[in-house]
Structure formats: structure tokens, C-alpha cells
Amino acid sequence: MTQDSPAVAAGEQPRKIDPIRPTDDGARALARELLRSARSGTLATLGADGHPAASLVSLATDGDGTPLILVSALSGHTGNLLADPRCSLLLARSGKGDPLAHPRITLKLRARQVSREGPEAERIRRRFLARQPKAGLYADFGDFSFFALQIEAASLNGGFGRAFELTPADILSAADRADALAPLEEGAVAHMNADHADAVRLYATALLKARDGAWRVTGIDPDGLDLALGDETLRLPFPAPVADAAALRGTLALLARQAREGADRGDASP
């Protein structure tokens, strides 16, 4: 027992320490970054025998951050989701050293199969293929379908001693902002990649310290930009949420100025 340890009287049970920390803005930001930057995750579904079944799935997000998957009817997890929509998704950041020292999040979810027709289907298909372009080879096959995985709760582990329990509101973008920005996204992404490629590159190299290259915007949502270079992905959070064209233009211009100033100071990655 150390000098600072509370004494435990004979017959008393040691006081239990709650490992869950109060949720703060840092935890919310980390959870959103893990979700928005992930290209794959481990999906756990409930099999007919009652056992959990874990599968690797490719991943994208809708405008509000709802996870999206594209799965074949031939896959066991697809049948499991149709029979019981309850599932979970593990997203983990890898790196050197002890794997448990790196952040990860487990999302408690309820799956919903997306109709193949209509504005929602078009938006989800576009956003998924922007993140997973190789999936365009099979996305329109008749036995493939998209599922939206509605978040019900989440457990975040930011590393040793940093555990949090999160609600959907802690992770998702506000629905009204996502709905307002959705009609603008496709045109804004195309405009940034066609007319502001230098700014996009500086977002990655000067603001996010990534390697140099032809980085592209793959998605825009109320809380940030998704960037990609080949199979690499980055997440650039906005300083404040946006919900209309004027706010989006102003934010992108502000970030471009900050990126150029950083490059002038030599902050960009070589």
C-alpha cells in the first residue's frame, strides 16, 4: 500500500473505481476521427446458432457519420443482419508498440438495408464509392446491397486508462446540418478537386502533416473534409460546423489560408 492509498478496514470491500471517464470534447473528436477516417472495420453479427460472428468489411460514412457497408447476399453476415439487425463494429488505429496502447472504438448498431432506388440510395452509393472506388466493380451487382448502420451507443478506448461511453449525439453530425449540406456536397467536392487541387494538397501536407501527393477530397460533411491519396485516408475537421454554402466557402477559404501560411513557415511535410 502506498502512502496515498486509502486504508481498507477489516471486512470492508475495496472501493471500486469507475474506469469510465466523463465524456469531453477530446473524446468526441477522437471518436469522430476514428469513424470518419476508417476504410475498414470488424463487423460482429449474431448467427443463427446464437454465436457472434465477426467479419472484415469495407466502410464509408453517410453525411451525418452513419457507417455504411456494401455486402453480398452470399456473405454470412448479410443473412445475419437480415434476420437480426443488431450488430457492432470495431474500428482500431494501428501503430508501433503495444496494440492496446492505440485508440479504438466499438459501435453498438442496428442495421438497415438501403433501397436500391431514390435520393438516399444515390447519395450513399456516391459517398461509398468515393471512399472505396474499387467497389465500383461490383456495387451494382444484383446480389450486393448497402446497409446503413444506425449508431445506438459506443465505447471508446483512447489508450490505457482512457475509456468513455458515448451516445449517438457525441459521434454523429447534427441531422439538420447534414440534410442541409447534402445537396451541395457533390458539386463542392468536384469543385475543390478540379479548381483548388493545390489547396487540397496543402490541407493534407501543411495542416495534417501527411506526405506530399495528389490528395483529393472524397467527402464533405458539416464537421469536416475526407481526403484520400490512393489507399491512404485523412480527416480534416472544421473549426466549427457548417450547414450552408456561405459557411462552407468561408471555412474552406480559412483553412486554405492557414495551410498556405503553414507552408510558408515550412510546416508542410516534405
What is the structure's pLDDT at 269? 60
What is the three-class DSSP state of 269?
coil
Q: For residues 124 and 118, give the distance between their C-alpha atoms in angstroms, rounded to a whole number.
A: 10
Give per-residue pLDDT as tens, 157-179: 987 778 999 999 999 999 999 99
Percentage with pLDDT > 70 across the chain: 91
**Whole-structure pTM value:** 0.89
What is the structure's pLDDT at 51? 93
Is the pLDDT at 8 greater than 60, yes or no? no
What grid cell was written down for 72? 453480398
Four-CA torsion 71, 74, 78, 82, nearest 10 degrees? 130
Whether residue 152 sits in one domain with residue 50: yes
Rounded mean pLDDT, 55-69: 97
Is the pLDDT at 264 greater than 90, yes or no? no
Domains of the chain: total: 2
Model confidence at 138, pLDDT cuts 50, 70, 90, reads very high
Whether residue 179 sits in one domain with residue 164: no
Rounded mean pLDDT, 125-141: 96
Is the pLDDT at 42 greater than 50, yes or no? yes
Domain's final residue, options 172, 197, 220: 172
Mean predicted lDDT score pLDDT of the chain:
92
What is the structure's pLDDT at 7? 55
Between 260 and 268, name the one with better pLDDT. Answer: 260
* Range of the structural domain that residue 71 is part of: 18-172
Residue 269, in any domain of the structure: no
Q: For residues 61 and 112, give the distance between their C-alpha atoms in angstroms, rounded to a whole number.
A: 14
Cell 472544421, residue?
238
Give per-residue pLDDT as tens, 228-246: 999 999 999 999 999 999 9
What grid cell was written down for 225? 473534409
For residues 85 and 112, the answer to whether their CB atoms sit within 8 Å is yes
Q: For the chain, what is the radius of gyration of the CA atoms?
A: 21
Q: DSSP letters of 12-46?
A: PPPPPPP-BPPP-HHHHHHHHHHHHH-SEEEEEEE
CATH of the domain at 133: 2.30.110.10
- The string over 46-59, giving b where at least 16 C-beta atoms fall within 10 Å of a residue's C-beta and e elsewhere, is beeeeeeeebebbb
Is the pLDDT at 6 greater than 80, yes or no? no
Whether residue 77 sits in one domain with residue 64: yes
Residue 206, in any domain of the structure: yes
Domain's final residue, options 145, 172, 199: 172
What grid cell was written down for 53? 460472428
